[in-house]
Amino acid sequence: QKEVEQNSGPLSVPEGAIASLNCTYSDRGSQSFFWYRQYSGKSPELIMFIYSNGDKEDGRFTAQLNKASQYVSLLIRDSQPSDSATYLCAVSPYGQNFVFGPGTRLSVLP
């Protein structure tokens, strides 16, 4: 059983702070890693993807991947109230289906 785990939250951070979202996965064959954001009642939308160990930055977002520890994280700098949403981690072994984690609910307090 391939599993992806996330803390369900809610994770509360003050506006302007760094939010750190974490995800662990069980399948060592996983090669592609995605972070999706989902507002309440809406469909998930892709924020970032990462394939290689290390950090990948895109604006206020940084994805970090450590395959040896089977760990992927998402950092959100200068958090804004509009970042309040559920963040879904998705993992995929090459050529296989996505497996989604349960999501972490983030609340950014003004």
**Which residues make up the interface to another protein (CB under 8 A)?**
8, 31-32, 34, 41-46, 49, 51, 88, 90, 92-98, 100-103
The CB-of-66 to another protein minimum distance in angstroms stands at 18
What is the Cα–Cα distance from 12 to 24, expressed in whole angstroms?
20
Minimum CB separation of residue 75 from another protein in Å reads 20
Residue closer to another protein, measured from CB, 19 or 88: 88
